[in-house]
C-alpha cells in the first residue's frame, strides 16, 4: 500500500533530525533554519539534533528516539534530515515501522539518508523525498532552482512534472526509449549496501534513480556490477542517473571515465537510460518524490513525475 504524506501548508512546522553524522558547525544550522523560515515554515529541532558520537550524531537509541518522536508529534508536519554522512543503516532494524505507517509525513533527505528511504518504502510504502538537507544544502547558500523545486514539491498536490537536467551537466543518452514506472532509488552506495537485507530495493517495473559523490570510477563500476548481478538493472523499466560529483579518477591514464563505466553497465540491458538529472550532490538539486509514477524519455534526457506525491 502506497502512503502519501499531506502537503505542507504555510506556517507548518518542520522537524529536524540527525539520523546519520553529526553537524559540522552551528553556522550552517542557523543559516538553514533561516532559509526554511523565509519559505514560510517553522522549525522544531529534535532533542538530540546536535548529538555527537564520533562519526555518528549520537547513539542509536538517541537517533531512533528523535525519528520516532518526529513521526509521532502531531505538531510536526514534515521531517528534514540535518545532513547525511554515515549512520542511517544502523537504525533500520530498530525503527518502529508501525509508527510511520500510522503517521505518514513528508520525509526529506538524500545521500546516506537513502538507506532510511529504502526501508520506509519497503516496510510502510511511504512516499519520501530525495531533496536538500538542512545544513549541507539549505544552510549553504542554496540556488534559486533548488529552493523553487524544494518548495513546490512539498506544498503542491499535483504532479511536479518535468525534472530538468543539471545546469552544465554532461547529459548523455545511454540507451534510447521511453518507459513508465515508480521512481525509486537514491544514492548508489546505499542502494548497493542494502542488497541482501530486508530493505533491498525492488526494481521490477520501476524507474531506477542513482547518484553518488566521491567515488572512483572502479568503485562505481563495482557497485553497478553488483546491482546488475542482483538483477536490479535489467528488471527496471528505466534508469536515470543524477549527478555523480567528484567521481573521476585522479590518474585518468589508468582508469575508465565515469561515463564509460556507466555506459558499459547499461549498454546491453535494453532499458531506457540517461545521465545528467539535476538531483544528487550537485550545486543544484531538484526535490524528487520517491515512490510515485514517473515517465522517462531517454531520447530527450527527460524525466517527468506524473503522479501527485502528496495529499
pLDDT tens, position by position, 209-228 = 999 999 999 999 999 999 99
Among 18, 21, 46, 111, the active-site one is 111
Residue 250's pLDDT band, with cuts at 50, 70 and 90, is confident
Active site residue 65: no
CA atoms within 13 A on the CB side of 149: 25
Helices then strands, counting H and E runs in the chain, come out as 8, 14
Distance, in Å, from the CA atom of 24 to the CA atom of 28, rounded to the nearest integer, reads 8
Among 18, 28, 62, 281, the active-site one is 281
Residue 198's pLDDT band, with cuts at 50, 70 and 90, is very high
Among 211, 243, 295, 307, the active-site one is 211
Of the candidates 181, 154, 162, the residue with the CA atom closest to the CA atom of residue 78: 154
Of the candidates 138, 136, 77, 86, the residue with the CA atom closest to the CA atom of residue 115: 86
Active site residue 158: no
| pTM confidence score | 0.97
Average pLDDT across the chain, whole number:
97
Distance, in Å, from the CA atom of 160 to the CA atom of 199, rounded to the nearest integer, reads 27
Structure letter (DSSP) for residue 146: H
Burial track 204-224 (b if 16+ CB lie within 10 A, e otherwise)? eebbbbbbbbebbbebbbebb
* SS3 label, residue 102: helix
Q: Which residues contact 254 (CB under 8 A, 6 or more apart)?
A: none
Q: Which long-range contacts (CB under 8 A, 24 or more apart) does 145-148 make?
A: 145/278, 145/284, 145/286, 146/284, 146/285, 146/286, 147/35, 147/39
Cell numbers found for residue 231: 538483477
The radius of gyration of the chain from alpha carbons, rounded to an integer in Å, stands at: 18
Domains and CATH numbers, the chain: 13-155 (3.40.50.10740), 161-305 (3.50.30.60)
Distance, in Å, from the CA atom of 102 to the CA atom of 154, rounded to the nearest integer, reads 20
**Looking at residues 292-300, what average pLDDT do you find?**
98
**Looking at residues 106-117, what average pLDDT do you find?**
98
Degrees to nearest 5, angle at CA 301 with 279 and 264: 85
Res 251 pLDDT > 90:
no
Active site residue 130: no
Cell numbers found for residue 87: 549512520
Res 253 pLDDT > 90:
no
Q: What is the pLDDT of residue 168?
A: 83
Structure letter (DSSP) for residue 88: G
Q: Which residues contact 157 (CB under 8 A, 6 or more apart)?
A: 7, 308, 310, 311
Distance, in Å, from the CA atom of 201 to the CA atom of 294, rounded to the nearest integer, reads 17
CA distances from 279 to 78, 233, 267, 269 (A): 20, 19, 22, 23
Q: What is the pLDDT of residue 169?
A: 84
Res 252 pLDDT > 90:
no
Distance, in Å, from the CA atom of 114 to the CA atom of 297, rounded to the nearest integer, reads 24
Amino acid at each position: 500500500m502506497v502512503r502519501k504524506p499531506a502537503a505542507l501548508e504555510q506556517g507548518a512546522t518542520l522537524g529536524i533530525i540527525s539520523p546519520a553524522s553529526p553537524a559540522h558547525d552551528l553556522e550552517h544550522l542557523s543559516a538553514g533554519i533561516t532559509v526554511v523560515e523565509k519559505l514560510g515554515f517553522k522549525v522544531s529541532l529534535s532533542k538530540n539534533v546536535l548529538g555527537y558520537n564520533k562519526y555518528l550524531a549520537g547513539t542509536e537509541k538517541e537517533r531512533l528516539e528523535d525519528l520516532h518522536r518526529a513521526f509521532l508529534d502531531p505538531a510536526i508536519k514534515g521531517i528534514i534530515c540535518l545532513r547525511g554522512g554515515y549512520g542511517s543503516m544502523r537504525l533500520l532494524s530498530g525503527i518502529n515501522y508501525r509508527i510511520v505507517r500510522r503517521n505518514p509525513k513528508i520525509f526529506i533527505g538524500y545521500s546516506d539518508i537513502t538507506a532510511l528511504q529504502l526501508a520506509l518504502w519497503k516496510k510502510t510504502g511511504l512516499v519520501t523525498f530525495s531533496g536538500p538537507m538542512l545544513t549541507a544544502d539549505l544552510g549553504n547558500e542554496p540556488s534559486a532552482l533548488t529552493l523553487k523545486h524544494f518548495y513546490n514539491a512539498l506544498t503542491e498536490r499535483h504532479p511536479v512534472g518535468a525534472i530538468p537536467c543539471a545546469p552544465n551537466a554532461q547529459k548523455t543518452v545511454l540507451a534510447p526509449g521511453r518507459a513508465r514506472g515508480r521512481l525509486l532509488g537514491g544514492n548508489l552506495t546505499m542502494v548497493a549496501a542494502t542488497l541482501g537485507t530486508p530493505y533491498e530495493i525492488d526494481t521490477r517495473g520501476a524507474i531506477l534513480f542513482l547518484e553518488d559523490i566521491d567515488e572512483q570510477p572502479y568503485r562505481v563500476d563495482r557497485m553497478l556490477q553488483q546491482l546488475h548481478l542482483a538483477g536490479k538493472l535489467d528488471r527496471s523499466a528505466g534508469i536515470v542517473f543524477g549527478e555523480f560529483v567528484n567521481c573521476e579518477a585522479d590518474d585518468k591514464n589508468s582508469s575508465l571515465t565515469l561515463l564509460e563505466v556507466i555506459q558499459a553497465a547499461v549498454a546491453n540491458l535494453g532499458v531506457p537510460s540517461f545521465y545528467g538529472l539535476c538531483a544528487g550532490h550537485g550545486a543544484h538539486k531538484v526535490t524528487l518524490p520517491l515512490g510515485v509514477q514517473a515517465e522517462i524519455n531517454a531520447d530527450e534526457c527527460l524525466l517527468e513525475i506524473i503522479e501527485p506525491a502528496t495529499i
